[in-house]
Structure 1
Amino acid sequence: MTDWIASPLEWLQNYQLNLLFSAVVVVVYFIIRRIVLPKLEAYVERDNLNQQTFRSALFTFSLLSAVVALGILLLIWGINIRELLAVSTGIMALTGVALFATWSILSNVTAFFILLSHQSYRRGNYIRVIDVDNYIEGYISEINMFNTILITEDRETVVYPNNLLTARATIINPRDRKRPIGKIEDFRKTETSVDGGLNDKD
């Protein structure tokens, strides 16, 4: 009976720091969830988005935070540091490329959280997205995990990738309305007329 009691006590004594750090990680994990999740819900309500958007954001954030917490716990409980650093460095490099490179599909998820927290991209706003001398414009209908739905004044539905929306110059609620999709030629015409006037004077 004494041995049965002594073994757990010895184990607790040997691993008390591991248990302490693990408890801190778990507490911080739940504190972050308690802080972030209400903010996500507030962003969804502020931008008049549907609950499916909130559920998508909740699932993605929960998954990423759980993976990070699990990785820290594995480090605390004796995973070889060199091996873990080698693996984690590779994973972080791949994750960084996947989440932030514009050609990556997963970068749309990163852009989703940026758009969700940005007050300008609320549902119902009329935006004009400019790509060099091309543009596309319409009302924001919905912001999904991978794309944003725009409704043009011609009642056409445009599915625009989130990562491109955050990487392009965007005019929020422009004063004038152009065609839903087209080229910006006003500057070229202005430059031509100015050049023509100067040549006439010469």
Structure 2
Amino acid sequence: MTKFLTNHLNEIIYSIILLIILIIIRTIIVITVKKIGKKSGTTEARAGLIGRYLTVILVLVALLIEAFILGVEPEQVSLVFSSVFAVIGVGLFAIWSILSNVTSGFIMFFSFPYRVGDKIRIHDKDYPVEAIIEDIRAFQIHLREDNGDLVTYPNNLLLQKAVTLLQKDALDDSSIL
């Protein structure tokens, strides 16, 4: 056991340093995402979801760095990643709509001009919607129409349609309720 530790001391030290850096960066990311979420008025659950997405990306980068720390050759890493991405690419092509909604939800978290409680009109020629935003989720947005119906609208379509803000924070207006 001591022979193993002495032979691989540098790799162990570098791995511990990488783990510490990973924890620090993740903490900074989570705090930053929560601050952005509070500033933009999104729910804490939504900020947590975005934080998890970014943590997964960070872990994948850390695994790549760890492979180099342990002495894996770049050719071997590129072979593994190209094979994995080919399989993932075929799978994601089959579910591109879901991936599109998740990506749109990610974009909406950082730059969507409307908040929960705002009354909006979506200018869709097939199904126009005029409703209050109840929740913004990873795949869809929940809208409550004046008659009480709940409409779930896909995030990717919402970014493609013209949207008009009718009333800011309509949930707090007693005339709506």
Q: Deviations over 1:15-56 (max 9, x none)?
A: x3x567645643543343233212221233234443332333
Structure 2 CA distance for partners of 1:105 and 1:52, relative to 1, 3 Å: same
Retained in 2: the 8 A contact 1:120–1:172?
Answer: no
Per the TM alignment, residue 120 of structure 1 is displaced from its structure 2 partner at its CA by: 0.4
Q: In 2, Cα distance between the equivalents of 1:48 and 1:35? A: 20
Give the Cα separation in 2 of the matches to 1:121 and 1:112. Answer: 13
Match of 2:66 in 1: 73
Contact 1:126 1:137 in 2 (8 A): yes
TM-score (norm. length: structure 1): 0.63
Q: State the alpha-carbon separation in 2 of the partners of residues 43 and 99 from structure 1.
A: 29
Of 101, 112, 116 in structure 1, the residue corresponding to residue 109 of structure 2 is 116
2: distance between equivalents of 1:94 and 1:126? 42
> What is the identity, as a one-letter code, of the residue corresponding to 2:138?
M
Structure 2 portions without partners, runs of 5+: 168-177
Cα distance, 1:158 vs structure 2: 0.8
Q: Which has the larger radius of gyration?
A: 1
Aligned-pair CA distance for 1:118? 1.6
Instruction: Count matched residues.
Output: 166
Q: What's the % identity of the aligned pairs?
A: 28
Residue by residue, what CA displacement relative to the aligned partner does 1:162-194 show, whole Å, maximum 9, x if unpaired? Answer: 22223x13324148xxxxxxxxxxxxxxxxxxx
Aligned partner letter, 2:111: H
Query: What CA RMSD, in Å, does the superposition of the two structures yield over aligned residues?
Result: 3.4
Q: Please list every run of 5 or more consecutive structure 1 residues that lacks an aligned counterpart in the other structure.
A: 176-202
Tell me which stretches of 4 or more aligned residues in structure 1 moved more than 6 Å: 4-7, 96-102
Query: Partner of 2:49 in structure 1?
Result: 56
How far apart, CA to CA, are the structure 2 residues paired with 1:122 and 1:97? 35
Separation in structure 2 between the aligned mates of residue 116 and residue 98 of structure 1, nearest angstrom: 26
Distance in 2 (CA, whole Å) between partners of 1:35 and 1:137 is 38
* Alignment match, 1:169: 161
C-alpha change, 1:82 and 1:129, in structure 2 (3 Å) is: farther
